[in-house]
Amino acid sequence: MNSLKGKVVLITGASSGVGAALAREFSKREARVVLTARRFERLQEVIRHCPNETLGVRCDVTDTKDRQNLINQILDRWKKIDILVNNAGSGMYGSLESIDEKEIRDLFEINILSTIFLTRLVLPTMKKQGEGLIINISSIAGLVAHSNNVAAYISTKHAVIGFSRGLVKDLQGTGIRVIVVCPHLISTEFFESSTGAQEMSEIIEKLRSRMDSPDQVAQGILDQIFLERFIIFPTEMSERVYHKFRDI
């Protein structure tokens, strides 16, 4: 695969931030984009800025029935799925003892289990096609411990990279490639909607001017997807930050 023209691209978490920027960017590059998230009216807004054919599907990616319905709708409409972007995710800030067990379980549901389960649903189609690309959005937190009080989040993002490594091995010879993306801080709603957002807000405001924008991240990803790389740092800043923390 070396062109996006006519490709069917499924993006989770497309109602805001990186997912919305990726939807616009893939669409600009002539892909047919499936946008999914829980907030349907927000998906509709993003769709208005996509110049090519789109399909918007409301889906909670942690819900088994929603995931199956999503895949059925795509296959009914376009009969194929060329690219899956597992982007939907959430954050968690705070000392481990202060966070409820349920909230930690929910974080694993959204950040890693939904990625595993959606990938499982897409694989039979990609295997039949003999071609496909799976892009898993991790973080530099998937490679290093970049901050205090985010241990649970760090473990979910390390799991995304571990899962992706396993997939690369399992998918050898199938024509399906796997990429993980490791961004640094991005200025999105993530810092308002994540668990512990309130406690984080002062630190985040100080860092805001050094964050990448979702559009920079989306462009950085799309500029590199055809390179034979497993890990993508979408911007120079993300690569620099990774090298700064890598000995820890």
Ligand X SMILES: NC(=O)c1ccc[n+]([C@@H]2O[C@H](COP(=O)([O-])OP(=O)(O)OC[C@H]3O[C@@H](n4cnc5c(N)ncnc54)[C@H](OP(=O)(O)O)[C@@H]3O)[C@@H](O)[C@H]2O)c1
User: CB of residue 226 vs ligand X: minimum separation in angstroms?
Assistant: 21
DSSP annotation of 112: I
User: CB of residue 184 vs ligand X: minimum separation in angstroms?
Assistant: 7
Residues that bind ligand X in the complex, under the rule CB under 6 A: 12-13, 15-19, 37-39, 42, 60-62, 87-90, 110, 137, 139, 183, 185-186, 188-190, 193
Q: Hey, is 39 helix, strand or coil?
A: coil
Return the residue matching tokens 């990616």.
Answer: 61
User: CB of residue 202 vs ligand X: minimum separation in angstroms?
Assistant: 16
Q: Which residues are catalytic?
A: 153
Q: Where does 145-244 show beta strands of DSSP type E?
A: 176-181, 231-232
CB burial class (10 A; 0-12, 13-18, 19+) of residue 83? buried
Strands 176-181 and 231-232 come out as: parallel
What span, in angstroms and rounded, lies between the C-alpha atoms of 164 and 8? Answer: 21
The structure tokens listed for 175 are 């024509």
User: CB of residue 223 vs ligand X: minimum separation in angstroms?
Assistant: 17
User: CB of residue 91 vs ligand X: minimum separation in angstroms?
Assistant: 6
3-state helix vs strand vs coil in the chain, percent to 5: 50, 15, 35
DSSP annotation of 97: G
Return the residue matching tokens 């088994």.
Answer: 64
Over its C-alpha atoms, the chain yields an Rg (Å, rounded) of 17
